[in-house]
């Protein structure tokens, strides 16, 4: 290990920055964020850096560097493009035994700046020892996706109760076990969900010995249209901590694989005239599992509140007093349209967009057709594959031009995506000539004509 990672308390301490340009500004921002007082020395100092110096209560010295500038400073930063000057600053700092960092010159440094994930008071530092800073930044970006900003609030919660817990458990092993249970249970879930007051109440009750019996919780999670990269941070976090996952037919296998490995997986998918489990039984199963103290993810394709029956499910949970969270997902309309290169609105073509189900609860396509024929409106039909001929015919009958552009997208956002484009008059026949299977999405409107120019996600997909 070439560098020992340490975290320094610089609050109120004076730090010297030699240089007044963009690189000096970047380093100075970090130093100021840590609460240090800046002393910046350079013949010319940029406006933004001057303002930062003033906010830190520091000083700007408009001249060249001298060795006496190190006086009273606990950290030295050389951030100029003058290599001999940087080397001199490094030598002077080392002579005094003051930590020094020279930007882009690891051999001149006694300390280096890591790539930082700031979830204060939780802070994570990643370093390559100065050999591969770009790699360190890429790893930091990965960590950013794993650890949402609310983890800082969780650390703050622990800090507020630390002394109470220490008094309750004098043994370090007992304290460790206590906090592990807190950080992996409902208290942490409440804090991470933004329910800070409830998290504090539950933690205080746990300390006081008045904690209620363990109860489960249901996470209604939108899995998006298929591409795992479109999952939200919260969705991924909850998927990886669930004890049971109830998933739909439209959840892509690659997304299901991101769930916790040892979680029980229960398929409750539905397709036309073939329901693996009726909706009322799904609702009851969610209630029963939560009452057993389990953390349950109800994983749905797209967004749970857009033709996903999410409202029905949480109504049942609320009626039984079961805690739940709802995690929105990217709905198929926005996801598939974007990957097909079809903007749903456009100033020249469509001033509104309407989401319509192509399959009603009673099995018909009895829709308010007169409301759907405005030429300046984009229509998006979910579950419209079987009823596509009826949809196109009824729109034409009620006044939409037969030449209106239309598209059908199969398995949108995945490598198996296929896009069929035509008009209301010929799209049903075009689709009938190919073997097309759900999930599909139908888009009707002038915006479909933009696909020829805007399609960007081709990959392994076919376009007809």
Residue 56: CATH number of its domain:
3.40.50.720
pLDDT 10s digits, 51-104: 999 999 999 999 999 999 999 999 999 999 999 999 999 999 999 999 999 998
Q: Is 239 assigned a ligand-binding role in the annotation? A: no
pLDDT digit string (tens) for 126-166?
988 888 889 988 998 888 877 878 889 999 999 999 999 99
Domain boundary among 327, 358, 386: 327
Q: Are residues 30 and 106 in the same domain?
A: yes
- The answer to whether residues 31 and 55 touch, using CB atoms and an 8 Å cutoff, is no
Q: Residue 351 belongs to what H/E stretch?
A: none
- Give the per-residue pLDDT at 144: 84
Q: Is residue 355 assigned to a domain?
A: yes
Total domains, the chain = 4
Q: Is 1 annotated as a binding residue?
A: no
Does any domain span residue 142?
no
Query: What is the pTM for the complete model shown?
Result: 0.69
What pLDDT score does 213 carry? 61
To the nearest 10°, the Cα dihedral for 104, 107, 108, 113?
50
For 289-325, write each residue's pLDDT tens digit: 999 988 899 999 999 999 989 999 999 999 999 989 9
Closest-CA residue to 420 (of 346, 334, 342): 342
Same domain, 346 and 450: yes
CATH number of the domain bearing residue 355 = 3.30.950.10
Show the tokens assigned to 416: 């198996």
Helices (H) and strands (E) in the chain, counts: 16, 20
Query: Is residue 199 located within the same domain as residue 227?
Result: no
Give yes or no: residues 168 and 229 share one domain: no
CATH of the domain at 249: 3.40.1010.10
What b-and-e string marks burial along 386-419, b requiring 16 or more CB atoms within 10 Å of the CB? bbbebbbebbbeeebeeebbbbbbbbbbbeebbb
Residue 129 lies in a domain: no
* 135, part of any domain: no
Token pair belonging to 156: 């703050």
With CA atoms as reference, report the closest residue to 359 among 273, 460, 256.
Answer: 273
Q: Indicate if 432 and 358 belong to the same structural domain.
A: yes
225 has binding-site annotation = yes
What's residue 82's pLDDT? 94
Are residues 295 and 343 part of one domain? Answer: no
Q: Are residues 349 and 320 in the same domain?
A: no
302 appears as a binding residue in the annotation: yes
Residue 298, H or E segment: strand 295-300
Q: How many whole angstroms separate alpha carbon 284 and alpha carbon 334? A: 31
**Same domain (yes/no): 247, 165:** no
Q: Are residues 308 and 337 in the same domain?
A: no
Residue 443 lies in a domain: yes
Averaged pLDDT, 121-129: 89
Query: Is position 433 annotated in a ligand binding site?
Result: no
**Average pLDDT estimate for 349-377:** 85
Share above pLDDT 90 across residues of the chain, in percent, rounded to a whole number: 70
Residue at a domain's end among 160, 175, 208: 208
- SS3 of residue 316 by DSSP: helix
- pLDDT higher than threshold 60 for residue 463: no
345 and 285 belong to one structural domain: no
pLDDT band, very low/low/confident/very high, at 460 (cuts 50, 70, 90): very low
Q: How does residue 459 score in pLDDT terms, banded at 50, 70 and 90? A: very low
Give yes or no: residues 277 and 355 share one domain.
Answer: no
72 is in an annotated binding site: no
The set of catalytic residues is 248, 270
Tokens 């394709």, residue located: 301
Check whether residue 338 and residue 447 sit in a common domain. yes
Percent of the chain with pLDDT over 70: 94
β-strands 270-271, 274-275 pairing: antiparallel
Residue 105 has pLDDT above 70, yes or no: yes
Span 374-420, pLDDT tens digits: 999 999 999 899 999 999 999 999 999 999 999 999 999 999 999 99
Is residue 360 situated within a structural domain? Answer: yes
Residue 269 domain-assigned?
A: yes
pLDDT band (50, 70, 90) for residue 275: low
CA distances from 164 to 1, 101, 154, 169, 333 (A): 37, 40, 16, 9, 50
The pLDDT of residue 190 is above 90:
no
Could you tell me if residue 370 is inside a domain? yes
Q: Which domain holds residue 169?
A: 150-208
The alpha-helical segments, DSSP class H, found in 150-270 are: 150-168, 172-183, 186-192, 196-208, 233-239, 253-256
- Indicate the pLDDT class of residue 444, thresholds 50, 70 and 90: very high
Burial 243-253 (b: 16+ CB within 10 A, else e): bbbbbbebbbe
């Amino acid at each position: 290990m070439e560098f020992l990672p340490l975290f320094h308390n610089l609050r109120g301490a004076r730090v010297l920055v030699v240089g007044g340009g963009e690189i000096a500004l970047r380093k100075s921002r970090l130093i100021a964020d840590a609460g240090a007082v800046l002393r910046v020395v350079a013949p010319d100092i940029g406006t933004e850096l001057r303002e930062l110096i003033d906010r830190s209560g520091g000083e700007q010295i408009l001249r060249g560097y001298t060795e006496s500038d190190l006086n009273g400073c606990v950290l030295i930063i050389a951030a100029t493009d003058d290599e001999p000057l940087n080397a001199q600053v490094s030598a002077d700092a080392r002579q005094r035994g003051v930590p020094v960092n020279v930007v882009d010159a690891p051999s001149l440094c006694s300390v280096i700046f890591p790539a930082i994930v700031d979830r204060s008071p939780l802070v994570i530092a990643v370093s390559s020892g100065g050999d591969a800073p770009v790699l360190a930044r890429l790893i930091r970006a990965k960590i950013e996706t794993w650890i949402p900003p609310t983890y800082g609030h969780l650390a703050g919660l622990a800090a507020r109760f630390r002394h109470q817990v220490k008094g309750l458990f004098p043994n370090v092993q007992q304290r460790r076990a206590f906090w592990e249970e807190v950080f992996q249970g409902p208290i942490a879930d409440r804090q991470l969900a933004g329910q800070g007051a409830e998290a504090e109440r539950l933690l205080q009750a746990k300390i006081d010995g008045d904690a209620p019996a363990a109860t489960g919780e249901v996470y209604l999670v939108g899995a998006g249209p298929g591409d795992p990269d479109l999952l939200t941070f919260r969705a991924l976090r909850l998927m990886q901590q669930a004890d049971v996952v109830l998933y739909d037919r439209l959840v892509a296998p690659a997304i299901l694989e991101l769930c916790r490995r040892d979680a029980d997986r229960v398929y409750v998918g539905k397709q036309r005239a073939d329901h693996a489990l009726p909706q009322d039984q799904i609702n009851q199963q969610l209630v029963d599992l939560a009452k057993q103290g389990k953390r349950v993810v109800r994983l749905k394709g797209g967004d749970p509140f857009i033709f996903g029956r999410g409202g029905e499910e949480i109504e049942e949970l609320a009626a039984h007093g079961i805690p739940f969270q709802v995690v929105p997902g990217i709905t198929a309309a926005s996801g598939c349209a974007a990957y097909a290169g079809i903007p749903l609105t456009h100033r020249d073509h469509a001033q509104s967009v309407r989401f319509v189900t192509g399959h009603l609860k009673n099995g018909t396509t009895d829709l308010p057709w007169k409301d759907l024929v405005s030429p300046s409106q984009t229509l998006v039909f979910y579950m419209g594959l079987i009823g596509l001929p009826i949809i196109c015919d009824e729109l034409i009958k009620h006044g939409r031009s037969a030449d209106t552009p239309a598209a059908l997208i199969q398995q949108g956002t995945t490598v198996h995506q296929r896009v069929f484009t035509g008009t209301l008059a010929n799209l049903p026949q075009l689709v009938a000539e190919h073997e097309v299977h759900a999930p599909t999405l139908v888009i009707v409107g002038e915006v479909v004509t933009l696909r020829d120019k805007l399609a960007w996600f081709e990959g392994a997909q076919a376009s007809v």
